[in-house]
Structure 1
Amino acid sequence: MTMILLIVLIFSIPIATYAITSIWLRVKLRSASGLPPSVPYVLPLIAHTPTFASGSDTLANALRRNAVPGAALRFKGIGFNFVLLSGADFIRKALSTHHFDWNKISAPLFVGMFGGPQKIKDALAKDDSGIGVKPYPGSDVHPGRRLMRNQIVFFADAFSKTSMDALVPIFILQMEDWCSKSNVISEDWVEMPSLYLFVRDVLFSSSVEALFGPNLLGLNPELAKDFWEYDDSVGFLALGMPNWLKPNAAKARSRVLEALKRWRRNAVNNADPAIAEDAAWNPAWGLGAIRRRNKLLDATEGLFDEDGRASIDLALLWSMTSNVIPASFWYLVEVLGSQQLQNRVLSEVDREIGPAIAGHLPKFDPATLTNNPLLQAVYAETLRLHIATLITRVVKKEHTVGSWLLAKGQDVMVASNVEHMHPQWDSTGADGDHPATDFWPDRFLTSPNGSSDKATFSLDGRQGQWIPFGLGEHLCPGRHFAKQEMIINAVVMLATFEMELTTPEGWRPANDFGRYGFGTQHPKEKVSFRIRRRRYD
């Protein structure tokens, strides 16, 4: 009898727990106020740990299934306690305030993902000064160790108009040079097994040379191989799990860090002294802002030694390649996968830059391309469908969003994939209905005076809905370069080559949610294609 009662008790606890949390959730949603309730779970303490540990489709489905627009719902488990916010107005009101910070969440990520030393993690976790010119009230962080503010200063320099005016032409030159010199692609069709790997190889070398100069790849010929092996394990590294569980992950990260150290030593020792420190770009350092950032690092009272500087260099390298490169692949897949869209895009490409002459593209204005309505619409729709970012913040000061109370120290999360798949994106065009799951760039195009007028690109009314780069004061600083990189890559490729998918008509690869939460998703299946140099009459 005792054993039977024990078994009944063991099985009753999960059932009771789920019932209680379900009832409490319904009560709280009706009142829509107070502390956020928990999403129902079965086992106390463990709660939602299995869902978050599984990641991938399990986590994606759980967030989509439970999110309630205008509500704050809690997911908790071993080592985490997040409040999920959903709904455009709700997200906009929440993340547009100055009551959130990112330091405590980003500190362990800096160690896990980028191999940052423990002393930098500790300093980053203590940096409660915010990102403004003046420290957040009550903060006593040393001025030199305002690490979050230093990031803003660096990115403001790195992506200023002066820097972009130097960076973008070098990127274009590297892309055109690769395309013109490739001896694999001729005027005859060449079959290739993976469009993703093709785009990845071209863009990685072009981006790295534009950002870091020629020496990073020149000194480290195996960098691309090591970097993508490292990138495949970023999710594991971010969790801070013991290295012995996946030793190749830490080894790949170490090889990339060593490559960055070699590059930095070379830059310090061999930079041309005749090039002014305020130059936008120079061969040894690449983007001039990277060189100038050394002054910020020198002012941190010895916090950034060689290891620390390699870690922030890796953070920059990863942030400027790992998401925009797969996004550029998706841009091409979506264009090539629809003959109608491909014809429209090619028409815009020919109109904007004209045909190649003797195999070389004429000079073109990057700003004109990136302001083209259709090319922008394809870019925006690509990010909507293929980015899955978990935007995380920490509440710095107790406050309310709507009627929900967010306590000081509470971790808050917004899932871009949840918002981007919401029925708010369902649209209707001349060709019929287009649900949120459809790729339909025309949802971003408007014709103010009727359908006969030329359409314009618009994100009006989409604040809090379209959030591939986040929202608020921590909005991704590299978003403008990423946009140019995606559009320019597509234009140069389509203007130089004829490309055709060799997959079944209408087929698209699925998003591989193995990187769920870290930005652009990789394709779940290979996309075969054929390519030849474009012929002009």
Structure 2
Amino acid sequence: MATPMNVVHDFPGAVSMSFLRYAVLSAVVALLLRRVFGWNSVTLKNQKRKPATAPSLIPFISHTIAIASGGEKLFSTFKQYCGLTSPIRFRMLGQDLILLSASDIRKTVHNPHVFTDNKLRARFISNVFGIPQAAADVVGVDNSGSAIRPTPGSNVAPDRRIVRMQQETAFDFLQSKDGISTFLDKFVGFLEQEIATKKIGEEWKEFDDFFDFVRKTSSTAVMNAVCGPRLMQRCPKFVDAFWTFDENVHLLHIQLPKFFIPKAYEARQVCLDALKEWKRNAIETTKGNTYTKEDRWDETWGLQVMRTRNGLYDRFKEYHSDAARAGSDLGIVWASNDNLIPAAFWLVQALVKSPELRDRCLVEINEARLPAVDGDGLPRFDTEILIKQPLLQSAYHEVLRTQVTSFIARDVEQDFVLGDHLLPKGSYALTVPWVENHNKERWESRPGATGHPVEEFWPERFLVPKKDGEGAEFSLKGLEGSFFPFGMGHHICPGRHFATRAILNLVATLVTAFEFEPVEKESWKDPGQNPQTFGYTPFRPTKKLPFRVRKAV
């Protein structure tokens, strides 16, 4: 291999060595100046319009390391920009990332041909869910969007609009009253079964960790509701493997080699192998069966959406492999659990920690309680009444405000002027909802918020006085365009209505049927926020929360 010195010696012509060295050095310095400071006459005008650059110790290197590292470094990088009013640029090796405020990111929704996510999505599903590259590329080249009408300028054929088809199969089911009702009924039924296995009676029973208790209990119920019970009957270790996989999503996303995170790759493989076997069994068992729209759930396929998604992938040859189908199914299982379960934990934890808040919420919960029926193992609730209880809704939304961390990211496909700033082609546009949710000016000015800093979990933050002066009501007024825990635009979470109902049902069931007591009250006072999955899922507690539980008297 030729070194730079070899190249210089081999260069023909009567040019002195000192001049060559000077020329090379000058070129390198000029290139660095242009890259770091944008000093060239052609782009100087545009350079002034680009967003201000976030400070860093080493240009390009510091931001790249912080953002690629994830976890605490990623969290620390962004949390200092709470209250952001203008875009700010993070200079990384190969690509700039531009952090936008909530008001700015909403403007991008109306320009889907400029701000796209198909390539980002393809990279994510390939790296994280192990979907083969050929299958991921079908998503990567689909720039037609998820709306009914293709994005302007898209030339994707109608029968190749996979993102729209995926959206339709999810929305058709999860946005319908019957679909939500079916999902919720199955979830509550499996939740009863799972709690029964804990053998909680009238005597106190101690457990090591409240988060682990809520996570395993509720995620088992969700997974059985989504896929039917046969998945975990065939693979009892699926739940544990899934949460190990979930904790390592960022490291899989950046393609950290298996040598460094063997447990993450092994856990993902356990999940994929189980899903492959489950699907093969479902296809074989139901071969020749005729289904109608009214067949919303069965033990073999679980939710109707799992069966219709399988039919959807029959249209794409790239998805004919077991690996592609299993990776896609893992994506659905992940989306069904990754936000719902931690959010449910934080809400029930808040009620257990504060007897005063629990008692106030119990008054509302009991308004939605249904009369007991023979055979009921746990209390049942009228969900439509439950979701209208003001304090319960406010506390739930305060959990979303303080704990949800998922990013909203887009590729910038062409230069775009946003107010006084130029977002250059080839950069990333990013909004961090957690940052927006900690804007002091916005959140500390809510009615009655004096004395309740933005860092505090204050369950009444979403309550406002009723017009007649009698009591308070839940309200999002004044937060339009700045509070979006479920995403926005056509990419808004299709399962948000189910998630809200499932979380409130889970919380209502647990605090009504059982008495919980913290064992180590100090750890319960401040469980901490583990940023390991920051940008993807809600925080997890940093500490174990020992507790004891018994049936409610």
TM-score, normalization: structure 2?
A: 0.86
Which is further off, 162-171 or 133-142? 133-142
**Superposition map of 1:31-70 within 5 A:** 34-66=49-81, 69-70=84-85
Deviations 1:126-163 (A, max 9, x none): 11111222322332223332222122112112303221
**Equivalent position to 1:399, from 416, 421, 424:** 416
- Residue of structure 2 in register with 1:100 after alignment: 115
- Residue of structure 2 in register with 1:298 after alignment: 314
2:149 pairs with 1:134: yes
Is the contact between residue 437 and residue 483 of structure 2 (CA under 8 Å) also seen in structure 1? yes
**Superposition map of 1:85-234 within 5 A:** 85-86=100-101, 88-95=102-109, 97-98=111-112, 99-161=114-176, 162-179=178-195, 181-182=196-197, 184-234=199-249
Q: Which amino acid aligns with 2:324?
A: G
2:416 pairs with 1:416: no
Mind listing any 5+ residue stretches in structure 1 that lack a counterpart?
1-8
Cα gap change, 1:32 to 1:72, in 2 (>3 Å): farther
- 1:195 Cα offset (Å): 0.4
Q: What is the DSSP-based 3-state SS (H/G/I as helix, E as strand, rest coil) of the residue aligned with 1:461? A: coil
CA distance in 2, matches of 1:496, 1:313: 33
Q: What is the DSSP-based 3-state SS (H/G/I as helix, E as strand, rest coil) of the residue aligned with 2:84? A: coil
Mind listing any 5+ residue stretches in structure 2 that lack a counterpart?
1-24
Cα gap change, 1:442 to 1:262, in 2 (>3 Å): same
- Residue of structure 1 in register with 2:542 after alignment: 524
CA distance in 2, matches of 1:48, 1:114: 26
2:399 pairs with 1:382: yes
CA distance in 1, matches of 2:287, 2:221: 23
Q: Which amino acid aligns with 1:165?
A: S
Q: What is the DSSP-based 3-state SS (H/G/I as helix, E as strand, rest coil) of the residue aligned with 1:490? A: helix
**Equivalent position to 2:489, from 472, 481, 488:** 472
- 1:407 Cα offset (Å): 3.3
TM-score, normalization: structure 1?
A: 0.88
CA distance in 1, matches of 2:478, 2:254: 36
**Equivalent position to 2:91, from 53, 76, 84:** 76
CA distance in 2, matches of 1:220, 1:397: 47
- Residue of structure 2 in register with 1:3 after alignment: none
Q: Which amino acid aligns with 1:513?
A: P
- Residue of structure 1 in register with 2:250 after alignment: 235
Cα gap change, 1:387 to 1:143, in 2 (>3 Å): same
Is the contact between residue 68 and residue 254 of structure 2 (CA under 8 Å) also seen in structure 1? no
Cα gap change, 1:304 to 1:75, in 2 (>3 Å): farther
| Paired positions, count | 511
Q: Which amino acid aligns with 1:485?
A: A
Which is further off, 198-207 or 472-481? 472-481
CA distance in 2, matches of 1:398, 1:154: 34
Q: Which amino acid aligns with 1:309?
A: R
- 1:363 Cα offset (Å): 4.1
Q: What is the DSSP-based 3-state SS (H/G/I as helix, E as strand, rest coil) of the residue aligned with 1:157? A: helix
- 1:328 Cα offset (Å): 0.9
Cα gap change, 1:247 to 1:154, in 2 (>3 Å): same
- 1:33 Cα offset (Å): 7.5
- 1:431 Cα offset (Å): 8.9
CA distance in 2, matches of 1:224, 1:361: 23
CA distance in 2, matches of 1:22, 1:141: 36
**Equivalent position to 2:551, from 506, 529, 533:** 533
- Residue of structure 2 in register with 1:5 after alignment: none
2:325 pairs with 1:328: no
- 1:119 Cα offset (Å): 0.5
Is the contact between residue 379 and residue 509 of structure 2 (CA under 8 Å) also seen in structure 1? no
Q: What is the DSSP-based 3-state SS (H/G/I as helix, E as strand, rest coil) of the residue aligned with 2:226? A: helix
Q: Which amino acid aligns with 1:528?
A: P
CA distance in 2, matches of 1:101, 1:455: 41
CA distance in 2, matches of 1:177, 1:148: 36
CA distance in 1, matches of 2:391, 2:122: 39
Cα gap change, 1:450 to 1:248, in 2 (>3 Å): same
- 1:337 Cα offset (Å): 1.5
- Residue of structure 2 in register with 1:245 after alignment: 260
Is the contact between residue 228 and residue 300 of structure 2 (CA under 8 Å) also seen in structure 1? yes
Q: What is the DSSP-based 3-state SS (H/G/I as helix, E as strand, rest coil) of the residue aligned with 2:256? A: coil
- Residue of structure 2 in register with 1:447 after alignment: 465
CA distance in 1, matches of 2:379, 2:313: 41
CA distance in 1, matches of 2:447, 2:498: 31
Is the contact between residue 427 and residue 434 of structure 1 (CA under 8 Å) also seen in structure 2? no
Cα gap change, 1:431 to 1:139, in 2 (>3 Å): closer
- Residue of structure 2 in register with 1:287 after alignment: 303
CA distance in 1, matches of 2:103, 2:364: 35
CA distance in 2, matches of 1:200, 1:341: 22
2:496 pairs with 1:482: no
Which is further off, 419-428 or 340-349? 419-428
Is the contact between residue 280 and residue 287 of structure 1 (CA under 8 Å) also seen in structure 2? yes
Greater Rg, structure 1 or structure 2? Answer: 2
- 1:260 Cα offset (Å): 0.3
- Residue of structure 2 in register with 1:508 after alignment: 526
**Equivalent position to 2:383, from 366, 376, 388:** 366
Q: What is the DSSP-based 3-state SS (H/G/I as helix, E as strand, rest coil) of the residue aligned with 2:460? A: helix
- 1:478 Cα offset (Å): 1.6
Q: What is the DSSP-based 3-state SS (H/G/I as helix, E as strand, rest coil) of the residue aligned with 2:461? A: helix
CA distance in 1, matches of 2:351, 2:474: 17
Is the contact between residue 370 and residue 380 of structure 2 (CA under 8 Å) also seen in structure 1? no
Report sequence identity in percent: 32
- 1:440 Cα offset (Å): 1.1
Is the contact between residue 21 and residue 40 of structure 1 (CA under 8 Å) also seen in structure 2? no
CA distance in 2, matches of 1:60, 1:430: 29
CA distance in 2, matches of 1:525, 1:21: 44
Deviations 1:2-26 (A, max 9, x none): xxxxxxx9xxx9xx99xx8799xxx
Q: Which amino acid aligns with 1:468?
A: P
Cα gap change, 1:80 to 1:502, in 2 (>3 Å): farther
Q: What is the DSSP-based 3-state SS (H/G/I as helix, E as strand, rest coil) of the residue aligned with 1:530? A: strand
- 1:193 Cα offset (Å): 1.6
Deviations 1:279-319 (A, max 9, x none): 21122111112211233212224444211110110000011
Is the contact between residue 277 and residue 292 of structure 1 (CA under 8 Å) also seen in structure 2? no
- 1:167 Cα offset (Å): 1.0
Deviations 1:69-99 (A, max 9, x none): 331111132354211002x433333345434
Is the contact between residue 48 and residue 75 of structure 1 (CA under 8 Å) also seen in structure 2? yes
2:449 pairs with 1:458: no
Is the contact between residue 45 and residue 77 of structure 1 (CA under 8 Å) also seen in structure 2? yes
Cα gap change, 1:214 to 1:494, in 2 (>3 Å): same
